[in-house]
Amino acid sequence: MIRVLVVSRPIAPPWDNALKNQLRYLPKLGEIELLVPSVRGSTISIAGMHPYSVYTKDSGTLSLYQKLRLLFWLLKFNDHCDIIHVLRTPDKLSSPILQWLCKRFNKPVIQTIFNQVPRCDQRRKLFWGDQITVCSEHMKKQLGTMGKTNVNKISPGVDCNKFTLCSPQMTAESKQKLGIENRVLVLFPGHYDKRLGISRILNIAPSIIASIPKVLFVMACRILSSQDRQQETQFRSAVLEQGLENHFLFRHTVENMHTYINASDLILFPIINAHPKMDLPLVLIESMACGKTVMLGKGDPAEEVFCNSECGMLIDANSPITYKDKLIALLNDESARKNYGRLARKTVEEYFDIKVIVKKYHQLYGSMSQREEQ
């Protein structure tokens, strides 16, 4: 049995992001035990996952106090593991401290990078793990230009048995469950961030509504900070000013995101800059697994989610006229959406099935453990 100590943000229900979902599946093949930093008072009942009350609260951004609690936990429990797996975006302040501690422990370290790292002085030094895993070829190439040769690409994975191919009947039932029958549903599962194209949606909405009166934009955006709340308030105000309130639905929840995906006719993600999200947003892969059409802004690394196949539509989010026309055409072409969805499901089964992803991590853990024994 290989014992892996995980250094990350809080691991606790709800299982609402790629990091948490990936970790919850890792022990399922056996041979792996995870020691994870959880939140005081939370309960995790997953065989092979051992939670510790490291954090006092679950939040998107860790305060200095929470980071210190993580470091003290690492100092206390590093002797209980065979491998240290760091799953957090490196930064100039905490990364050198974390690196110094891990080197003292003399344990093999895997460093997983989910999203783009801001450019800064000494950026190369932020990537220090014995092995580094990234989500995209784009990030792997970036690290290669820094002279990093110990980089493995391991994509985020989804449970294809949970996110099944959605039939027209399932779509209708999901809409009924949400109380939005007889609407053409466009889902935006992102954040209120200009880099994710949120303003582009508002710019083209009047034209879309004029062409397809039954359209409903569902803004399924998590509120993780006061800044998110402020941006949502500004967006809502703009919707009201334009008299579009009957065509927008605002949701903060993620627990029933699966239902919103199934109810959707199209998933819209007009990303402009991928930095605020992980390289390959998990919700897009989940949507593809359900056989939904994804319309995605062009650009690395996010477009890698299509794996160079015709399983979704790429758009130039900076060209509103073309973007608008393509969206209207696709919403009016059910046959095209079905074809995209069928290919999307096939792509996920081939490249993003969680069973395949977990095996890759198990192989990496195994090779690192053998190196430690030598």
Give 293 or 317, the one with higher predicted confidence.
Answer: 293
User: Is the domain of 59 the same as that of 184?
Assistant: no
Number of neighbouring beta carbons within 10 Å of residue 242: 14
User: Is the domain of 137 the same as that of 177?
Assistant: no
Helices (H), 268-333: 282-289, 320-331
How would you classify the pairing of strands 184-188 and 83-87? unpaired
User: Is the domain of 178 the same as that of 105?
Assistant: no
pLDDT at 40 > cutoff 80: yes
What would the pLDDT profile of 65-107 be if each residue is shown by its tens digit?
A: 999 999 999 999 999 999 999 998 888 878 888 889 888 898 9
Q: Is residue 163 part of a domain?
A: no
- Contact (Cβ atoms closer than 8 angstroms) between residue 368 and residue 131: yes
pLDDT given for residue 194 in this prediction: 76
Q: If you count DSSP H runs as helices and E runs as strands, how many of each does the chain have, helices first?
A: 12, 13
What is the value of pTM for the model shown? 0.91
Q: What is the mean pLDDT of the chain?
A: 89
Measured CA distances, 331 to 59, 208, 247, 290, 324 (Å) = 37, 10, 15, 17, 11
User: Is the domain of 305 the same as that of 185?
Assistant: yes
Rounded Cα gap, residues 244 and 42, in angstroms: 40
Q: At 53, is the secondary structure helix, strand, or coil? A: strand
Domain coverage including residue 311:
168-351
What would the pLDDT profile of 117-151 be if each residue is shown by its tens digit?
A: 666 556 788 899 999 999 889 889 989 988 999 99
What would the pLDDT profile of 343-352 be if each residue is shown by its tens digit?
A: 999 999 999 9
Here the tokens at position 11 are 């691991």
User: In a 10 Å sphere around its CB, with 0-12 CB exposed, 13-18 middle and 19+ buried, how is residue 340 labelled?
Assistant: buried
Query: Number of structural domains, the chain?
Result: 2
Q: Is residue 196 part of a domain?
A: yes
User: Is the domain of 86 the same as that of 193?
Assistant: no
Helical packing angle, 64-77 and 94-105, nearest 10°: 10
pLDDT at 299 > cutoff 80: no
DSSP string, 11-39: --SS--SHHHHHHHHGGGGSSEEEEEEEE
Rounded Cα gap, residues 174 and 197, in angstroms: 26
Q: Is residue 77 part of a domain?
A: yes
pLDDT given for residue 6 in this prediction: 96
Q: Percent of the chain having pLDDT more than 70?
A: 94
Rounded Cα gap, residues 191 and 304, in angstroms: 20
- Contact (Cβ atoms closer than 8 angstroms) between residue 133 and residue 364: yes
What is the arithmetic mean of pLDDT over 142-164?
92
Which is nearest to 89 in space by CA: 53, 139, 15, 144? Answer: 139
pLDDT at 292 > cutoff 80: yes
What would the pLDDT profile of 16-29 be if each residue is shown by its tens digit?
A: 777 888 899 999 87
Q: Is residue 43 part of a domain?
A: yes
What is the arithmetic mean of pLDDT over 35-55?
93
User: Is the domain of 175 the same as that of 145?
Assistant: no
pLDDT given for residue 371 in this prediction: 66
User: Is the domain of 327 the same as that of 191?
Assistant: yes
Q: Is residue 162 part of a domain?
A: no
Q: Is residue 60 part of a domain?
A: yes
374 pLDDT tier (thresholds 50, 70, 90): low
* Amino acid letter for position 80: H
pLDDT given for residue 39 in this prediction: 94
Q: What residues contact residue 174 under an 8 Å CB cut-off, 6+ apart?
A: 166, 259, 260, 262, 263
User: Is the domain of 368 the same as that of 346?
Assistant: no
Q: What residues contact residue 88 under an 8 Å CB cut-off, 6+ apart?
A: 7, 8, 9
The Cβ-side half-sphere exposure at 341, using a 13 Å CA radius, reads: 25
User: Is the domain of 127 the same as that of 11?
Assistant: yes
Give 372 or 364, the one with higher predicted confidence.
Answer: 364
Q: Which residues make beta-bridge pairs with 55?
A: 39
User: Is the domain of 103 the same as that of 235?
Assistant: no
Q: Is residue 276 part of a domain?
A: yes
CATH label of the domain that carries residue 132: 3.40.50.2000
What would the pLDDT profile of 221-272 be if each residue is shown by its tens digit?
A: 888 778 888 989 999 999 999 999 999 999 886 668 899 999 999 999 887 7
Q: Is residue 56 part of a domain?
A: yes
Number of neighbouring beta carbons within 10 Å of residue 255: 10
pLDDT given for residue 160 in this prediction: 95
- Whose structure tokens read 């072409």? 333
User: In a 10 Å sphere around its CB, with 0-12 CB exposed, 13-18 middle and 19+ buried, how is residue 321 labelled?
Assistant: exposed
Rounded Cα gap, residues 69 and 56, in angstroms: 9
User: Is the domain of 281 the same as that of 191?
Assistant: yes
For the chain, the straight-line distance linking the first and the last C-alpha, in angstroms and rounded, comes to 17
User: Is the domain of 200 the same as that of 330?
Assistant: yes
Q: Which residues make beta-bridge pairs with 34?
A: 4, 49
